[in-house]
Amino acid sequence: MAEKYIASVTLEGVRLRYPNFSGRKSEFNLTGKRIFDVVLPTDVAHDLQDKGWTIKWPKPFNDEDVPEPRIEVTVRFEGKPPHIALITGRGQSDLDRNTVAILDSVVMLNVDLTINPYYWSIGGKEGYRAYLEEMYVTIEESRLQQKYADVPRIHQEADDDITED
């Protein structure tokens, strides 16, 4: 497969696995990249793979296990950063490189995103990696978060003065 143009892909109502928006290092992420996997329906995974996207096909753990195909998505803030919005009952908030790590610890109710292809070729293998272009994440809020959502926030400054937003 020679490098060719393929279009960005928008996926709606997807589930994320292994979110690492903070870029923390781990045994599976030695370099500390900001990455996550998107779980794909099998037909969508085959379609994307046929177009050249790099798809992971996990091996089943046992006879009853039905592995879910996934695509790994990289989040980079260098160059043109992705647009990432956190959706709550109050509206939406844009997230940036300093605030996106919140997504590692929330319950996601809905995720819609667009990924951009990046062509790679190493050692005779080639394909397209996915980079995040934009994403909207609707999160679950507790009953108390909903109850106090309209209460103005205050911040305590270093000199102990309290300021209101």
CATH number at 47 reads: 2.40.50.140
Predicted local distance difference test score (pLDDT) of residue 156: 57
In the 3-class helix/strand/coil scheme, how is the chain assigned residue by residue? Answer: CCCCCCCCEEECCCEEEEEECCCCCECCECCCCCEEEEECCHHHHHHHHHHCECCECCCCCCCCCCCCCEEEEECCCCCCCCEEEEEECCEEEEECCCCHHHHHCCCEEEEEEEEEEEEEEECCEEEEEEEEEEEEEEECCCHHHHHCCCCCCEEECCCCCEEEC
Question: Quick check: is 102 in a domain?
Answer: yes
152 part of a folded domain: no
Strand partners, 135: 84, 113
Residue 146, domain member (yes or no): no
> pLDDT at position 4, please?
77
Determine the structural domain holding residue 15 and report its residue range. 9-141
103 within domain boundaries:
yes
CA distance 70 to 118: 17
Q: In the chain, which stretches have pLDDT less than 50?
A: none
Q: Is there a domain that residue 157 lies in?
A: no
**Domain membership flag for residue 164:** no
Total domains in the fold of the chain = 1
pLDDT value for 159: 53
Full-model pTM = 0.83
The rounded Cα 6 to chain-centroid distance in angstroms is 21
Q: Is the dihedral of CA 15, 21, 25, 30 positive or negative?
A: positive
Residue 159 lies in a domain: no
pLDDT given for residue 12 in this prediction: 98
Proportion of the chain above pLDDT 70, given as a percent:
92
Residue 150 is assigned to a structural domain of this protein: no
